Amino acid sequence: MAETQQVTIQVSEDVSSTPADRAAIAAQIIEFIRQRSESGIGVRRRGKGFQNYEFPQYSKEYEEFKGQDNVDLVLSDEMLASIQYFASKSRRGEITVGFKGGTKVNAKAEGNQIGSYGKAPNPKKARRFLGMTKSELELIGA
C-alpha cells in the first residue's frame, strides 16, 4: 500500500490566520505546484526547506511507449489535477496539500516522488513535486 503523499508547507502566520485565508493560499500553492511540474521542475528537501531541480528525463523505452521525449507528469492530467488541500491538517502558519491515502492517484504520486513506478524506489528516477521553496512562497505572498 502506498504511503500517503502529502506535504505541510510553512507559510506566514499573518496571511494564514483564518480558515478562508488558508484555503485561498492552498489554492495558490496547488496551482503553483501544477504549473511548475508541467515545466519539468520539482523540489527536493534541503535542511528545513526545499530546493528546485530539473526532473530526470524519461527512459528511451518509456518515450517510445508513451510517445514523449520530455518529462510530463500531466500526460493525462489526472494526478496533478487531484492534488487537494487538507483543511483539517492545516492551521495558522501551515498548509497541508497532497493526495488522499489509498487512492490510485496517491499511488501514482508516490511512484513519482520516490521513483519506483511499480518497482523498487530509485532516487535517480524520482520526480518530487510536492513542496515549495521559500522564494516560490514569496512569489505568491505566502
With respect to residue 51, please indicate whether it lies within any of the assigned structural domains: yes
With respect to residue 1, please indicate whether it lies within any of the assigned structural domains: no
pTM: 0.87
With respect to residue 126, please indicate whether it lies within any of the assigned structural domains: yes
Residue 88, amino acid: S
Q: What integer pLDDT is reported at residue 67 of this predicted model?
A: 61
**pLDDT tens, position by position, 88-104:** 999 999 999 999 999 99
Question: Of all residues in the chain, what percent carry a pLDDT higher than 90?
Answer: 63
Q: Which ranges constitute the DSSP H helices of 1-142?
A: 19-38, 60-66, 78-81, 104-114, 134-139
CA–CA separation, 107 and 100 (whole Å): 10
Average confidence (pLDDT) over 113-133: 90
Looking at the DSSP assignment, which residues form a beta bridge with residue 9?
A: 95
| Beta-carbon count within 10 A of 61 CB | 8
Domain encompassing residue 56: 6-139
Q: What would the grid cell of residue 91 be? A: 492551521
Q: What would the grid cell of residue 102 be? A: 489509498
Q: What integer pLDDT is reported at residue 52 of this predicted model?
A: 93
Higher-confidence residue: 32 or 46? 32
Q: What integer pLDDT is reported at residue 73 of this predicted model?
A: 62
Looking at the DSSP assignment, which residues form a beta bridge with residue 52?
A: 43
pLDDT at 23 over 50: yes
Q: What integer pLDDT is reported at residue 1 of this predicted model?
A: 63
Q: What integer pLDDT is reported at residue 71 of this predicted model?
A: 47
